[in-house]
Chain A
Amino acid sequence: SQKIEQNSEALNIQEGKTATLTCNYTNYSPAYLQWYRQDPGRGPVFLLLIRENEKEKRKERLKVTFDTTLKQSLFHITASQPADSATYLCALRMDSSYKLIFGSGTRLLVRP
């Protein structure tokens, strides 16, 4: 079965730096890969979606890359701010169903 690995160690960076989070998966590549933000005690908030035939997607300070050879997606936040501190989840949609498989998330802490 598909497994998704996100770095369970929290990422601690200085404000203004670029945060890079990693999502690795096993088996075959998903049709879509999505990134969500989750704050404590809240539901996930959709950030970006990238298709399997796309290599990069940007939205404001966010950038997602998708490498089907490496079976990896990278999520970047440039010019990071303390307000970006949260847990970031990657999720894969594998097939024609609309079900998502989530990684366990990486906690990001941006220090002022």
Chain B
Amino acid sequence: GNSVTQMEGPVTLSEEAFLTINCTYTATGYPSLFWYVQYPGEGLQLLLKATKADDKGSNKGFEATYRKETTSFHLEKGSVQVSDSAVYFCALSPSSGSARQLTFGSGTQLTVLP
């Protein structure tokens, strides 16, 4: 079956530090890949997505590249801010199936200190 493995947290960084959150996946075919962000007490927000190999998703300074050869989709940001403190989820959607259910990683808690 499909699975997503995320870097375990929590991750604590100082403001303006470089961020990497690792994500690897197992799936057949060519799944779509996503990063979601969840701020305290809120639902999940789609942060970025990629649908084929070598695609780079980007949004709000965050980037992730779909690497088919390493089955990875690592999240990066060059300079984090206090407002980036949240839980980040990596997810995949299979390339077939009527419901196209998402498979989520376990989430990584990020805290950015001023």
Do the two shown chains form a genuine complex with each other? no
Interface positions of A (Cβ within 8 A of B): none
Interface positions of B (Cβ within 8 A of A): none
